[in-house]
Structure 1
Amino acid sequence: DLMMGRGNTGPVYPWFGKDIREGIPLSIENYHLLRRLWREKNISWEGKFRTPLQGYTSTPFPLDDVPPFVWHGSIRSPQIAEQAAFYGDGYFHNNIFWNKEHVAQMVGMYRNRFEAYGHGRADQAIVGLGGQIFVGETEEAAKKQFRPYFDVAPVYGHGPSLEEFTELTPLTVGTVEQVIERTMQFAGWVGDYQRQLFLMDHAGLPLEVVLNQIEILGTQIVPELRRRMEARRPEHVPSDPPSHASLKANRDNPHFQVTPGKIAEES
């Protein structure tokens, strides 16, 4: 899998001679070109944001001539969700700072457009979500240990309280079971989905604490989440995104063959 995001850090764009105010059309054009470079040889191409290509072949070419499955990461840009839907690619909504209503709206738009472009039913669209957790033996113990880091964190410190932030976003601070139950609510917001990513190294947590949290996640949380998610997933909804093996076996699939269109205008 390859996950792409256009980035929301303004100073990065000038490093490459670009303007963040053109970030969306730049991202759309670049991905159109990238798809062609993965699928075609001796390309002649001209666009708005980079120098033209004349008879260019990308090397190395994708393994077995099969491009990787792509996730389009977007928090608030409907144009990026539209591009993901157009190609039948995956859509990753990094929802760690957003309320469930916004998340449901963005994912719902992607699902509806995925179906409109003929890639399958809306509930079969390939979706990923983010999450962030801190686990303790009890909810009180987890909050007591995590709060000093949360309160001064560069991103969300000095703002809403830990309790307010937990209420508004997917942040879950509590026991293993509380994390599992809260994460299982996500499918109620957006439908059954294929990838759940957890932010673990956040708020300036010490390395040894992070490693312990990862151990808990891998041994106590993830196995049970997988079991419960599969138990509720309808048979027609995929449990995983396309893999290299499945894409190789389905070269004639429309997902593999689709030709670039004018996403910027359509969205």
Structure 2
Amino acid sequence: MKFLAITLIVHNDERSPTERFREVVDNAVLAEELGFDGFGVGERHERPFISSSPPVVLSHIAARTTRIRLFTAVTTLSLLDPVRAYEDYATLDHLSGGRLELIIGKGNGAAQAQLFHVTPDDQWERNREGYELFRRLWREDKVTWEGRFRPSLTDAETWPRPLQRPIRIWHGSATSKESVDLAAFYGDPLFSANVTNPVEPYAELIEHYRERWAAYGHDPADALVGAGTAGYYAARTSQEALETYRPIFEARIALFRKVGVDPVFHTLEDAVERGSILVGSPQQIVDKVLRYHERFGHEVMHLHADADGLTSAQHRAALELFQSEIAPVLRKEIPSRPFPEVAV
């Protein structure tokens, strides 16, 4: 199994944006130091996030690291001009020495849709059309294209040409079959959010992905799935882990209720029992990931990169424990295909 650390760059405390960005970059450096396979930066265009420009953040991380693969989580193609997005990420691909991997998706949030004049009626079509063009730009030196949502192209050239040919593009999936079907149609890997709900709806979408994958004529053995988690904290005993993480979980529930969101899990114990949150002893976390693997068949998993209310010492200690006692077992128990080699 491969492991990513991912941040959406939530900014909801007294620190300046500058300090928060520096923390993100430092966490990426730490993730590489500890042995994570990838580091991802999300894209959101509304409060409380400041992750509106992932290629800029990832470029800085590329300059501070040498090995770890760099992920977007996700690139919101329903909002972006595919040509401009291609130019940004092809440049980043070179600057990182071919370490870039993209996770694309529709994105969510009313504020970001208003900024880009995207509606619920056209968001999926924008995502599909944007991906069709985006995909071709990575593969073709000249593109002739016509669609609904941007000006047409005739023998258009985009620069720079990418370092990785082709780059691997994942499709982020949360609740809808549209993104799952798009991934299966093109033979692309799928990354399940696996954050908000119990395992069942995510397992159903992954099963649908595998069914559509085969229906489109792809070899079932080639399907590749990743999955997220809703939070992480490991300690030597489950009692210690629950005691430390409880105020963090309860603060999150209070924030949900403040903004009018009814949480799916009302107690930490319920979230640990039925959700994807990983809180407990190393053996408990290994057992839980293996149970999820039985449903998903996933080869890649992400943890939250941020301290998320933990102290810096607690955060580092928990990540060190993950890499020393949890990751080695999961890597052995769940074989995974290698990530692409660094290009240069």
TM-score normalized with structure 1 length: 0.80
Task: State how far apart, in whole Å, the 1-side matches of 2:241 and 2:159 are.
Answer: 49
Change in Cα spacing, 1:41 to 1:155, as seen in structure 2 (3 Å) is farther
* Correspondences of 1:127-138 after superposition (within 5 Å): 127-131=225-229, 132-138=231-237
1:201 pairs, out of 291, 303, 306, with: 306
Does 2:322 align with 1:224?
A: no
Task: State how far apart, in whole Å, the 2-side matches of 1:244 and 1:83 are.
Answer: 26
Task: State how far apart, in whole Å, the 2-side matches of 1:210 and 1:174 are.
Answer: 14
* Match of residue 27 from structure 1: 127
SS in 2 for 1:11: helix
Does 2:252 align with 1:153?
A: yes
Contact 2:199 2:275 in 1 (8 A): yes
Task: State how far apart, in whole Å, the 2-side matches of 1:214 and 1:242 are.
Answer: 21
1:7 pairs, out of 86, 100, 107, with: 107
Change in Cα spacing, 1:213 to 1:207, as seen in structure 2 (3 Å) is same
* Match of residue 274 from structure 2: 168
1:39 pairs, out of 135, 139, 143, with: 139
Does 2:292 align with 1:186?
A: yes
Task: State how far apart, in whole Å, the 2-side matches of 1:127 and 1:155 are.
Answer: 33
Task: State how far apart, in whole Å, the 1-side matches of 2:127 and 2:338 are.
Answer: 22
Change in Cα spacing, 1:164 to 1:109, as seen in structure 2 (3 Å) is same
Task: State how far apart, in whole Å, the 2-side matches of 1:50 and 1:133 are.
Answer: 41
SS in 2 for 1:76: coil
Task: State how far apart, in whole Å, the 1-side matches of 2:129 and 2:254 are.
Answer: 31
- Give deviations 1:32-88, integer Å, cap 9, x for gaps: 001111122332222112222233112111226x12111100111101100100111
- Where structure 1 has 5 or more consecutive residues not aligned to the other structure, the ranges are 231-238, 247-267
AA matched with 1:100:
V
AA matched with 1:19:
T
- Give deviations 1:92-133, integer Å, cap 9, x for gaps: 001022212112100000011111112102x54111111232
Contact 1:200 1:210 in 2 (8 A): no
- Where structure 2 has 5 or more consecutive residues not aligned to the other structure, the ranges are 1-100, 258-262
Task: State how far apart, in whole Å, the 1-side matches of 2:275 and 2:160 are.
Answer: 41
Task: State how far apart, in whole Å, the 2-side matches of 1:54 and 1:154 are.
Answer: 51
* Correspondences of 1:52-91 after superposition (within 5 Å): 52-63=152-163, 66-91=165-190
- Give deviations 1:205-254, integer Å, cap 9, x for gaps: 33332222222222221111101113xxxxxxxx22673689xxxxxxxx
Task: State how far apart, in whole Å, the 2-side matches of 1:184 and 1:89 are.
Answer: 24
* Correspondences of 1:251-262 after superposition (within 5 Å): none
Contact 1:104 1:190 in 2 (8 A): yes
AA matched with 1:162:
L
Contact 1:68 1:244 in 2 (8 A): no
Runs of 4+ more than 6 Å apart:
none
* Match of residue 148 from structure 2: 48
* Match of residue 250 from structure 1: none
Would you say how many aligned residue pairs link Structure 1 and Structure 2?
235
TM-score normalized with structure 2 length: 0.63
* Match of residue 201 from structure 2: 102
Moved more, 197-206 or 55-64: 197-206
Task: State how far apart, in whole Å, the 1-side matches of 2:167 and 2:161 are.
Answer: 11
Contact 2:206 2:296 in 1 (8 A): yes
SS in 2 for 1:134: strand
Change in Cα spacing, 1:44 to 1:194, as seen in structure 2 (3 Å) is same
Task: State how far apart, in whole Å, the 2-side matches of 1:155 and 1:42 are.
Answer: 52
